[in-house]
Amino acid sequence: MHQPNEFCAVQHLTLMVAFCISTIAVDPQLAGQTTTAHEQMTDAERIQWFRHDKFGMFVHWGPYSYLAGEWNGQRIPVGTEAEWIMQRFNIPVAKYRQMAHNLNPTHFSAEEWVMLAKSTGMKYLVITAKHHDGFAMYHSQVSKYNIVDWTTFKRDPVQELSEACRRNGIRFCVYYSHREDWDDPDGFGNNWDYDRSKKNFNRYLEEKSKPQLRELLSNYGPLGLIWFDRGMDTPEHAREFIEMVRTLQPRCLINGRVGSYGEDLMGDYQDMNDNGMPTGGLQEYWEAPQTLNTTWGYSKFDQQWKSPGDVIHRMVEIVSKGGNYLLNIGPMADGTIPAPSLATLRRVGVWMQANGESIYGTSASPLPEQPWGRSTTKGDKVYLHVFSWPADANLPVPGLKNEVVAAYALTAPSRKLGVSQLDGTSVIALPARPSDDMDTVIALQLDGPPKVDPPTVTQGSDTPFELDYLSGVTTGKAIKRFNREGKFHIAKWTNPEDSVAWHLLVSQAGEYNMRIRYSARQESKGEKYVISTGAQSITGSVAPTGEGYQYNTFDLGTIKFSRAGPYVVRINPAADYDHNLMYFQLLELVPAGPRMVE
């Protein structure tokens, strides 16, 4: 039998703690030791540091930083990506190449950048070794179009950053755009200089993309992760990239964008779409890459900076949903980090210094979002992140079923706060004022790992029940995830124990017409699933919806709630199948016909 998910989370955590204790002191990656292909590494071991560390620095830096959002008087509109300038204005390769000679980052200091990441509380750093424009920011032997051979700067920033990271205990990682290359005649994306029909994409893969990846994996010591972007054309090609990373650096993580868009997750974890924020409830490793203003590469026009409060709230929101926050800086071409970015990160660092315990090593909180803020959890503790301080200084925490052994502000642990119970709600007596305007963290020491009731789905008058991934409770292998396009669904269910269930509070008795929305592949055609509540059940048959993820809605039969009150509605595969049943999005229960009066 499968255990409820909360127990799985605890098991995970115990494993994680055990692993950290045995490895952190002599973490080979941080100590600069590369590993051999012979080293056996499970997926769970490989991802431990990532699960724990939560917060990373992304750096977008390249020839586009020199243009800073402007080409021949044409501007990149604020709100769009300045690193896309070559594509946006169809700058000819010859002209962009000429421009790139000018890159001369005399103010670049790897130590300063890494120390900024460190003092902000970031634990890993991802540098654009090659973005879509095709220019390598490291000394590549594969192509002269790199910062050492192409400019007068003559230094290798990737090398310098890798060393500074190692010195300061920050995990060094690289971004490599493996499919896109606007410089290479056979790379993907440049159809203004090159004729798309004449491209030999395999040549680009074999002669530039793979050899450059091999350099990055071979010459810069152990990498924490490789951040691929924009996907690959086929799963077979994606697998070749994965294979190379696994062979040369078995410890190195691979982000999900290594794969192609229509495929299930390849690599070790899923990236949310750029600047995206999931609504919650995800059950796999994920990361949210986000910007500090609205561009990744530097733009002199973009002053739409997030405030330190925005950054902290976003981080907490992401971590409260089990994800990692990869926050971008876009240094100027000369190596200077824009002053507003510095100021914001310094403030975030002050908060992290005081409150890091509520971020590092935590997991998604079982408590839902609250009007006053968010929460994170670790072991027997829950951390309440109070964004809006209640006027009466009483903080309601509904639905927590544990005994609260102690409550205190994280920055004043010896001053215990009063806790009272009111109709299943714990109420914490807060100090009159927050100690931090942006987020004051209240720690709750519980009598065990946090337990909460499953969410209850209620209905308005005459409106359908909308049973979605967010309010459903999964069992077995069924998990909540998002696809490459950032769309949410339930997947990975293959047999009857893998299910999703909803707790409904029916206020209107009667018959309901059911509508189910999902995406399914050809391989699942005709496979059966069961929708049940109490003694009633309906068997449905999966209809393929096409390649990739194309969600369709299908009418099913009716079910009847003969009286108002609580019900559980469940969906599960009807038999054992050897692949995912469907990518489920929504079950709607629409009141049918006249109401039944009890």
> Which member of 45, 240, 263, 274 binds ligand H79 (CB under 6 A)?
274
Question: Mask of contacts with ligand H79, 223-262, x by CB under 6 A?
Answer: ------xx--------------------------------
Here's the x/- map for ligand H79, 32-71, by CB under 6 A: it reads as ----------------------------x-----------
Nearest-angstrom CA–CA distance, 544 and 526: 8
Count helices and strands in the chain by DSSP H and E runs? 14, 30
Residue entry with tokens 């080409």:
71
What is the C-alpha to C-alpha distance for residues 517 and 489, in angstroms, rounded to an integer?
Answer: 10
CB of 483 to ligand H79, least distance (A): 15
For residue 257, the minimal CB distance to ligand H79 (Å) is 8
Nearer to ligand H79, 87 or 402 (CB): 87
Stretch that binds ligand H79, among 37-45, 77-85, 371-379, 590-598 (CB under 6 A): 77-85
Tell the smallest beta-carbon distance from residue 31 to ligand H79 (Å): 29
Phi, psi of 517 (to 5 degrees): -120, 125
Instruction: Give the Å distances, CA to CA, from 39 to 36, 42, 45, 218, 225.
Output: 6, 10, 12, 16, 17
Position 84 contacts ligand H79 (CB under 6 A): yes
Q: Quote the least distance from Cβ 57 to ligand H79, whole Å.
A: 13
Interaction pattern, residues 276-315, with ligand H79; x per rule: CB under 6 A = -------------x------x-------------------
Is position 184 an interface residue for ligand H79 (rule: CB under 6 A)? no
**Residue placing its CB nearer to ligand H79 in the complex, 90 or 425:** 90
DSSP string, 108-151: --HHHHHHHHHHHT--EEEEEEE-TT--BSS--SS-S-BHHHHS
**Pairing state between β 55-59 and 124-130:** parallel
CA dist 214 → 183, 474, 497 (Å): 19, 40, 43
Among 16, 66, 81, 489, binds ligand H79 (CB under 6 A): 81
Q: From edge to edge, which strands make up the β-sheet containing 253-254?
A: 253-254, 225-228, 171-176, 124-130, 55-59, 323-329, 286-290, 270-271
With respect to ligand H79, which residue has the nearer C-beta, 50 or 296? 296
Tell me if 80 contacts ligand H79 by CB under 6 A: yes
Q: Which is nearer to ligand H79, 178 or 385 (CB)?
A: 178
Residues in binding contact with ligand H79, number by CB under 6 A:
11
Smallest gap from residue 274 Cβ to ligand H79 (A) = 5
Q: Which of 12, 75, 88, 347 binds ligand H79 (CB under 6 A)?
A: 88
Closer to ligand H79 at the Cβ: 88 or 246?
88
Measured from the CB of residue 186, what is the shortest distance to ligand H79 in angstroms?
Answer: 19
Q: Which residue is nearest to ligand H79 (CB)?
A: 84
CB of 232 to ligand H79, least distance (A): 13
Task: Specify the residue, 60 or 489, whose C-beta has the smaller distance to ligand H79.
Answer: 60
8 Å CB contact between 182 and 86: yes
Distance CA 363, CA 323 (A): 8
User: What is the separation of C-alpha 128 from the centre of its chain, rounded to a whole number of angstroms?
Assistant: 18
For residue 395, the minimal CB distance to ligand H79 (Å) is: 37
Range in contact with ligand H79 (rule: CB under 6 A) among 75-83, 159-167, 473-481, 523-531 = 75-83
- Nearest-approach distance from CB 120 to ligand H79, in angstroms: 19
Calculate ∠ Cα 285-290-292, nearest 5°.
150
Least separation in angstroms between residue 275's CB and ligand H79 is 9
How many C-beta neighbours within 10 Å does residue 450 have?
24
Letter string b/e over residues 18-35, b meaning 16 or more CB atoms within 10 A of that residue's CB: ebbeeeeeebebbeeebe
| Region from 78-86, 299-307, 384-392, 570-578 binding ligand H79, contact rule CB under 6 A | 78-86
* Strands annotated E in 267-318: 270-271, 286-290
Cα gap 496→531, rounded to integer Å: 11
Q: Which residues bind ligand H79 (CB under 6 A)?
A: 60, 80-81, 83-84, 88, 229-230, 274, 289, 296
